[in-house]
């Protein structure tokens, strides 16, 4: 670690104790930005880095609700409004027992750069709760969402902060949250994205993160004079990102052979397609079942308590959660001949795993570039809400495709310009940062 990084990190750790995921996300960005700061003393003087790592606002609140047995339950709610230099705060809500301030600060921080890369005017934010929707009835989820919105509604608005989904928050939760906001404010406004099609949602939003990940992967492979056609891919997860990634990867001629959840993985050597993919899409959203059910239904082996990265593949696409690829997993992927890793999830690779990929010449696409298609189509949903008009499926998909290509170009260009050609981590951090930094410079010390 250089002196420059060490000084900033010492301060970040002292001020944000017990936030290891936030430290991890900040360190990666600061390391990438060193050459930028060296060339731009004006950023240093204006303390852009010190300002960008401090959220503009953090809201924490009590979420009380009553379960089906009549027992009072208390959860903790959060919204981290991180940076609004280039647009209103934008980013998802995560409902999962692992949610802490550290997790949401890492996600909100990443979101600043991701949103900047999309080319659309969106600042960075993230929120959520330690609530676990798994195992809860629809009524319980509704009561929880209503209580959550009873506080959140004061802080959001179509020009202020526009949350969306993330882990544990899908169409059902967005519906309950939207209904409660509308009742409290008596206003039908685009305050959330990922809405239902009949009430302000956009076509392609459910598919966007997965499709965008596949489009980005295609660019990465083209850049290496490779093609996606005929490749074998391992993914983790089986949610929204995973399912629509599989759909697009199949269309582009690849074969996806694994899915997983926190309890284990399934290897399906034939590839997940046709009726199997249809079943998988419903597995969580409708049946709310574990990935193990897929193994049972199609007579495949369920491998408990292990990760899919031990299965031989050409490409790995983690679509589940943070730090789900650690050093040993990365070494397994290298040993098995993997040539590219593209992150459909947010920060799924640990820093040690990323080092292994870099040292072994694996093309590594970080989440903030690879999975930006989701929030990009959220941005397009906001545009459509403002126009009070809807684009067709093909129109939105074409815009998404262009955005993902543009992100790839700007990442590669920034990596080249600052002396690390082919380094997608540096390229994404630098390209995302420069736009936000310049906007902050223009707007003065605020």
Residues that bind ligand GLU (CB under 6 A): 90-92, 114, 164, 166, 193, 346, 374-375, 378
Provide the token pair at 181. 């906001």
| Cβ at position 136, least distance to ligand GLU in Å | 21
> Which is closer to ligand GLU, CB of 114 or CB of 143?
114
Q: Which is nearer to ligand GLU, 147 or 193 (CB)?
A: 193
Residues 6+ apart with CB under 8 A from 61: 76, 77, 78, 151, 152
Tell me how far apart the alpha carbons of residues 152 and 181 are, in angstroms, rounded to a whole number. 9
CB nearer to ligand GLU: give 95 or 144.
95
Closest distance to ligand GLU from the beta carbon of 61 (Å): 20
Given 90, 105, 114, 126, which residue is catalytic? 126
Pairing mode, strands 302-304 and 264-267: antiparallel
Q: Which is nearer to ligand GLU, 164 or 313 (CB)?
A: 164
CB of 306 to ligand GLU, least distance (A): 26
Residue 177: which residues within 8 A CB-CB, separation 6 or more? 93, 145, 148, 149, 152, 163, 192
Distance CA 90, CA 12 (A): 23
Considering the complex, what minimum distance in angstroms separates the CB of residue 200 from ligand GLU? Answer: 14
Whether 126 is catalytic is yes
Contact present, 290 and 320 (Cβ < 8 Å): no
CA angle at 240 for the pair 236 and 243, rounded to the nearest 5°: 60
- CA–CA gap between residue 411 and residue 328 (Å, rounded): 28
CB of 110 to ligand GLU, least distance (A): 8
Task: Calculate the dihedral angle through the C-alpha atoms of 299, 303, 304, 306, rounding to the nearest 10 degrees.
Answer: -150
Nearer to ligand GLU (CB atom), residue 283 or residue 375:
375
Catalytic residue annotation: 126
């Amino acid at each position: 670690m250089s002196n420059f990084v060490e000084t900033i990190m010492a301060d970040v750790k002292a001020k944000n104790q017990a936030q290891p995921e936030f430290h991890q996300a900040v360190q990666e960005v600061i390391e990438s930005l060193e050459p930028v700061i060296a060339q731009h003393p004006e950023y240093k003087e204006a303390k852009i880095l010190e300002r960008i790592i401090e959220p503009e606002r953090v809201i924490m609140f009590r979420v009380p609700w009553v379960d089906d047995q009549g027992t009072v339950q208390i959860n903790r709610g959060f919204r981290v409004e991180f940076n609004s230099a280039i647009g209103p705060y934008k980013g998802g809500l995560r409902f999962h027992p692992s949610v802490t301030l550290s997790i949401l600060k890492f996600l909100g921080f990443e979101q600043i750069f991701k949103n900047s890369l999309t080319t659309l005017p969106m600042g960075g934010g993230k929120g959520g709760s330690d609530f676990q929707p798994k195992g809860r009835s629809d009524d319980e989820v509704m009561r929880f969402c209503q209580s959550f919105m009873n506080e959140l509604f004061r802080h959001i608005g179509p020009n202020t902060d526009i949350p969306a989904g993330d882990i544990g928050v899908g169409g059902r939760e967005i519906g309950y949250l939207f209904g409660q906001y509308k009742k409290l404010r008596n206003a039908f406004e685009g305050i959330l994205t990922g809405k239902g099609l009949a009430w302000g949602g956009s076509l392609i939003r459910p598919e966007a993160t997965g499709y965008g990940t596949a489009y980005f992967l295609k660019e990465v492979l083209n850049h290496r004079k490779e093609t996606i056609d005929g490749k074998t891919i391992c993914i983790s997860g089986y949610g929204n990102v995973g399912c629509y990634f599989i759909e697009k990867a199949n269309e582009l001629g690849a074969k996806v052979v694994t899915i997983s959840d926190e309890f284990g993985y399934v290897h399906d050597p034939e590839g997940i397609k046709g009726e199997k993919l249809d079943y998988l899409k419903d597995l969580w959203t409708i049946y709310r079942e574990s990935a193990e059910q897929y193994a049972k239904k199609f007579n495949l082996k369920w491998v408990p308590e292990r990760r899919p990265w031990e299965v031989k593949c050409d490409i790995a696409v983690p679509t589940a959660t943070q730090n789900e690829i650690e050093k040993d997993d990365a070494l397994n992927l290298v040993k098995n001949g993997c040539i590219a890793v593209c992150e459909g999830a947010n920060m799924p690779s640990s820093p040690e795993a990323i080092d292994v990929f870099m040292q072994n010449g694996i093309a590594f696409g970080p989440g903030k570039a690879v999975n930006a298609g989701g929030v990009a189509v959220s941005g397009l949903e906001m545009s459509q809400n403002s126009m009070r008009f809807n684009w067709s499926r093909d129109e939105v998909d074409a815009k998404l495709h262009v955005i993902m290509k543009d992100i790839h170009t700007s990442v590669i260009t920034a990596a080249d310009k600052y002396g690390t050609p082919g380094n997608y981590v540096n390229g994404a951090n630098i390209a995302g940062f420069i736009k936000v930094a310049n906007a902050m410079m223009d707007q003065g010390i605020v």
